[in-house]
Amino acid sequence: MDNRQKEIDNLKDYKYGFTTDIENTRAPKGLNEDVIKFISNIKKEPQWMLNFRLKAYERFKQLKEPDWQKPKYPKIDYQDLYYYSAPKSMKDKPKNLDDLDPKLLETYKKLGIPLQEQKRLNGIAVDAVFDSVSVATTFREELTKQGIIFCPISEAIQNHPELVKKYLGSVIPVTDHFFATLNSAVFTDGSFAYIPEGVRCPMELSTYFRINASNTGQFERTLIVADKGSYVSYLEGCTAPMRDENQLHAANVELVALDDAEIKYSTVQNWYPGDKDGKGGIYNFVTKRGLCKGKNSKISWTQVETGSAITWKYPSCILKGDNSVGEFYSIAITNNHQKADTGTKMIHLGKNTKSKIISKGISAGFSDMTYRGLVDISSKATNSNNYTQCDSLLMGNKCGAHTVPYIKNKNSESNIAHEATTSKISEEQLHYCQQRGLSAEEAVGLIVNGFCKEVLQQLPMEFAVEAQKLVGISLEGSVG
Amino acid sequence: MKEQLQKDFDNTIKNLTLSQKDIEIKKFYLDNFINKGFPNRKEEDWKFSDLNQIIKKNIGEISFYSDYTSTNKVDTSAFVDGLEHNKIVFINGRIEKIDFDYEKKDQIEIIDQSETINKFNNNSSLSDLNGAFTNKSFKIVVKKGYQLTKPLIIYHTTNSKIWSKNINLRLNFELYENSSLRLIDLFKDTSEKNFINIFYNFDLKENSILKNFKVDKFENKNIKYSFNNIEQDKNSISETFILSSGSNFCKNEINCNLNGEYSSAFVNGIFSVNNNKLHEIRTIINHLTENTKSYQLIKSVLEDSSRAVYQGKIFVNPKAQKTDGYQLSKAILLNKDSEFNAKPELEIYADDVKCSHGSASGSLNEDSIFYLMSRGLNYQQSRELLINGFLLDVVEKITDPEVKNLIKNMIGIKE
């Protein structure tokens, strides 16, 4: 009884803090060529894929871990991690939902993933990733009718090698930075989506990530290709079980938009942020990059970052095609001892390219928030435009909010405008809300939601509600 | 470069009368510099302007020793007309004249500090270089309650006698309670390919006012670095104006520590550069206590394949509640090869603050040109009118009418 009580107490702080007991198949600890071959082998990958990994690993060995970021963390021993783990019951892929391990289904239920009954009601095709192997993909048939490919990337490597070969590594090359290269060498699974020419994807594609096995760095790889004139909206949401040790998450997300295509990528990130004293929590070092390859293409990133002990990511757009558009909408909330160093890069290469950055940072408790961004208009990007707005809100005097934008304009016919403000919630606003009968906490929630509204509006319906709640939950205990 | 440095250092020391202890300190600086070398793009502060490369490309072999035993003739025609002023004249790095004719002698003290080397609040390699090679260093003290009647103009003159040299200057200013000083740095160079490395330290006591105007107007092929450290006590005001235009490369750094309540700092700058020039302003304003204020306005007009960089940082200490910090940089790119880079940074650890920055860059507004042309101006005139108006905004921020007029005349801005 005592033990049970303790467990419940442990779970109280974190809504999604539970783990499922499933045996894991693990690769041996450490990083070397053999482990990479093991991963490649277990995934039954063709030779070219293994070569891709090995090339990345060769490069990785020469790279040094970057240390210019604001949030510092204890050194990670890359030889002390497991690079592959899969639920055992997954060895033979289930044919349908009934074949799934009931424990897995239970986990999803707690998370509210509409995998079973709710799947039609919600109209979302879910590619649920449990640790590193994709479990089941729903709605595939409906998507197949339209010619849309939406499957785990390991499957795509088997079934659509020509697409994967063409686009994988075309936005984040194997020779990229430290964490991206590490991912290229050891990535286990992730999602692949291909929208054929002229197709408007009829539903939001969605993936829930979960980090489960302790000590396993998750190395997801997502690749989305929108062919000419197509449109897709992709949702990524994550919750993770409670952990004491810090866990590394170094995912790569690549987006490619061809002529007239549009990709909308939304994230709600709510990984375990560590406890009130800053112990534990996930390291979220993700590389997200989109390439507007074709003319008139558009990529839009929307993110709500409330989780993780350290968030360190810059979803970027390379605006290569003429008239292409890049957008970045972000809310980052840090509380307690959380740290975030996030922002975006907009690299203008094509003519008449446009980009817009709206970033809202909120820091409370002892946390530290940094917006770091780059706007680079090259000499060839004639008639390009950028607008940047980053606002920070500080709650309490133990936290920090920083803005580090890099602005480079090499083209006389292009315009860049950048604005940033830092402020706190005014006493008048609080007083007004409280006078109307709201508690201090509700008042803060309301004001913060108003502050974030511009970004929340960009989220698809399914997410907007969840995100709005999340904003409130994340700031619990930060006032009074 | 190491042998060259060592040799030049020994020559420099020979001509100075220094105590053993001072020589040790200078040696320490030298060793530091030898270790670090000129800053390069690997350092965040020099990301946009790699000084090591610039020196290699523009100067090549540089020598650090200058012979200061013989005097240079002061060319009085170079002095500013129409404004009575006190002067300090540097020629090729040697102080030739110090003259406070217009002031009460007992209110200003000039202390030769060459023999007491004081630590500088900066550990960059250029500070080390400066520490190792400065020849003469003076401290100028303005006594309590004294306000200089006329501005002080420091003439930084170089002539063709020097070539591929590094010149290091250092001055200290101390402004006592309720005092004030207007200081104009005027650069006039007829030399080429020298690297001039200037360090100023200002100590502002309660209620004192410093106005510093740095005017680098005349075309020259030198490379300049100037560092101002400003310490501010309660109620003090510092105003810095920078006109960055003439040199091949010029980087102005302002580090301002607002230590006392109600102190305020203003930095206003103009980049007006052409050809292949690269100019930079980097500011760090440290708000260290409550109720301090800072305001920065930087405007750039870039022609040909010139480049300008603005790196501005506002730092707010956890104690510095009620801080008001503002930063604005605007740039007009006139040529397709020109480039403007900005890094306006906020680092804030207190919640009850008002801090913001803005940065914009782009071309001249075609609509405005069209409007002016439809009123009968030709293209060239319209362009000039718009640029003048754009820059006038910064000049108008100068609070001293005499100096404002002087600077307006110098850059030929008409109202």
Q: What is the DSSP string of A178-219?
A: HHHHHHHHH--B-EEEEE-TT-B-SS-EEEEEE--STTB-B-
Residues A402, B353: C-beta atoms closer than 8 Å: no
Residue B164 lies in a domain: yes
Count of C-beta atoms within a 10 Å radius of residue B374: 9
pLDDT single digits (tens) B170-215: 999 999 999 999 999 999 988 888 999 999 999 999 999 999 999 9
pLDDT for the residue numbered A127 = 53
User: Is A390 within the bounds of a domain?
Assistant: no
Q: Three-class SS of residue B168?
A: strand
- Cβ separation of B359 and A407 shorter than 8 Å? yes
Domain carrying residue A40: 2-313
Is residue A458 in some structural domain?
no
The tokens 């920070």 sit on which residue?
A392
Chain A CB contacts of B341 under 8 Å are 406-409
Picking from B333, B347, B360, the nearest residue to A418 by CB comes out as B360
Cα separation, B302 vs B329, in Å, equals: 13
pLDDT value of residue A472: 72
Domain for residue B402, yes or no? no
- What is the predicted pLDDT for the residue at A131? 44
The residue ranges of chain A whose pLDDT is under 50 are 1, 11-12, 88-95, 116-125, 131-136, 209-216, 240-242, 244, 480
Residue in A397, A416, A422 nearest the CB of B356: A422
Which residue is associated with the tokens 């989305």? A224
The DSSP bridge partners found for residue B165 are B63
For chain B, say whether A444 makes contact (Cβ under 8 Å). no
- The whole-angstrom distance between B346's CA and the closest CA on chain A is 5
Test A415 with B356 for CB contact under 8 angstroms. Answer: no
Mutation to test the B interface, candidates A407, A478, A479, most B Cβ within 10 Å: A407
Of A392, A406, A416, the CB nearest to B360: A416
Within a domain: residue A129?
Answer: yes
A415/B347 touch (CB, cutoff 8 Å), yes or no:
no
Nearest CA in chain A to B365: A413
Q: What is the pLDDT of residue A480?
A: 47
Closest residue in chain B to residue A370, using alpha carbons only: B347
**What SS3 string covers B142-157?**
ECCCCECCCCEEEEEE
A247 bridge partner residues: A282
Beta strands in A396-443 (DSSP E): 400-409, 415-424
Contact: B336, A397; criterion CB under 8 Å: no
**Which residues of chain B from 271 to 330 reach within 8 Å of chain A, CB to CB?**
318, 321
- Average pLDDT score over chain B: 90
* A-interface mutation test, from B47, B303, B323, B346, most A Cβ less than 10 A away: B346
B221 CB within 8 Å of a chain A CB: no
A9 touches chain B (CB under 8 A): no
What was the pLDDT predicted at B11?
A: 86
**pTM listed for this prediction:** 0.85
Q: Which of B321, B345, B362 sits opposite A414 (nearest CB)?
A: B362
Count CB atoms within 10 A of the CB of residue B10.
Answer: 11
Q: What chain A residue is nearest to B48 in terms of C-alpha separation?
A: A408
**Distance to chain B for A396, nearest Cα, Å:** 6
Give the DSSP H/E element, type plus range, for residue B125: helix B125-133
pLDDT of residue A2: 57
Chain B's closest residue to A381, CA to CA, is B336
Please give the C-alpha separations between residue A426 and each of A403, B318, B352, in angstroms, as whole numbers.
21, 18, 9
The mean pLDDT value for B13-26 works out to: 82
**pLDDT, average across residues B264-285:** 95
In a domain, B400, yes or no: no
State mean pLDDT over B330-341: 92
Q: Is B238 on the interface with A (CB under 8 A)?
A: no
- Interface contact B81, partner A, CB < 8 A: no
Structural domain count of chain B:
1
Find chain B residues with C-beta within 8 A of A394's C-beta.
Answer: 348, 350-351, 353
- Given a cut of 50, whether residue B370 has pLDDT beyond it is yes
Contact criterion met (CB < 8 Å) for A394 and B348: yes
| Res B85 pLDDT > 80 | yes
Domains contained in chain A, number: 1
Does A420 touch chain B if contact means CB atoms closer than 8 Å? yes
Write out the H or E segment, with its range, that includes residue A36: helix A33-42
What residues of chain A lie within 8 A of the CB of B318, using their CB?
397-398
Q: Among A68, A396, A410, select the one facing B339 at the smallest CB separation.
A: A410
pLDDT digits (tens, 9 = 90+) for A352-400: 999 999 999 999 889 999 999 999 999 999 999 999 999 999 988 889 9
3-state class percentages of chain B: helix first, strand second, coil last, to nearest 5: 20, 40, 35
* Residue B396 domain flag: no
Asked whether the beta carbons of residue A422 and residue B353 sit closer than 8 angstroms, the reply is yes
- Residue B363 to residue A412, Cβ atoms within 8 A: yes
Q: Which residues pair with A269 in a beta bridge?
A: A238, A305
Residue B90 lies in a domain: yes
Instruction: Determine whether the interchain pair B361/A397 forms a contact, defined as Cβ–Cβ distance below 8 Å.
Output: no
A120 part of a folded domain: yes
CB pairs under 8 A between A and B: 113
The Cα–Cα gap between A374 and A316 comes to 9
pLDDT tens for each residue of A291-303: 999 999 999 999 9
Residue B395 is assigned to a structural domain of this protein: no
CB contact under 8 A, B355 and A421: yes
Q: Among B249, B327, B319, B250, which Cα is nearest to B288's? A: B319
What are the beta bridge partners of residue A334? A363
- The helix/strand/coil state of B362 is strand
The confidence score (pLDDT) of residue B250 equals 95
Query: Domain for residue B217, yes or no?
Result: yes
Q: Containing domain of residue B152, as a range? A: 2-383
Instruction: Measure B353 CA to nearest chain A CA, in Å.
Output: 6
Distances in Å between the alpha carbon of A36 and those of A28, A32, A187? 10, 7, 9
Residue A312 forms beta bridges with which residues?
A341
- CA atoms within 13 A of residue A80's CA, in its CB half-sphere: 7
pLDDT at A396: 83
Instruction: Give residue A197's pLDDT.
Output: 94
- The predicted pLDDT at position B315 comes to 95
User: Which of A255, A246, A234, A284 is closest to A125 using CA atoms?
Assistant: A234
Chain B: closest CA distance from residue A475 (Å): 16
CA distance B130 to A264: 54
Nearest CA in chain A to B311: A406
CB atoms under 10 Å from CB of B209, counted, come to 18
Q: Which of A409, A425, A426, A429 is most worth mutating to test chain B (most B CB atoms within 10 A of its CB)?
A: A409
Q: Beta-carbon neighbour count of residue B337 at 10 Å?
A: 17
Interfacial A residues in 40-79 facing B (CB < 8 Å): 68
pLDDT of amino acid A95:
47
The dihedrals phi and psi of B216, each to the nearest 5 degrees, come to -110, 85
The verdict on a CB contact (< 8 Å) between A418 and B331 is no
B343 near A CB under 8 A: yes
- Residue A241, domain member (yes or no): yes
The average pLDDT across B50-65 equals 89
Residues in chain A closer than 8 A to B362 (CB atoms): 409, 412, 414-416
Q: For residue A391, what pLDDT is reported? A: 92
CB contact under 8 A, A407 and B354: no
Contacts of A414 in chain B (CB under 8 A): 362-363
At B64 the three-state DSSP class reads coil
C-alpha distances (whole Å) from B73 to each of A295, B76, B386 are: 66, 9, 42
CA A29-A32-A36 angle, to 5 degrees, is 90
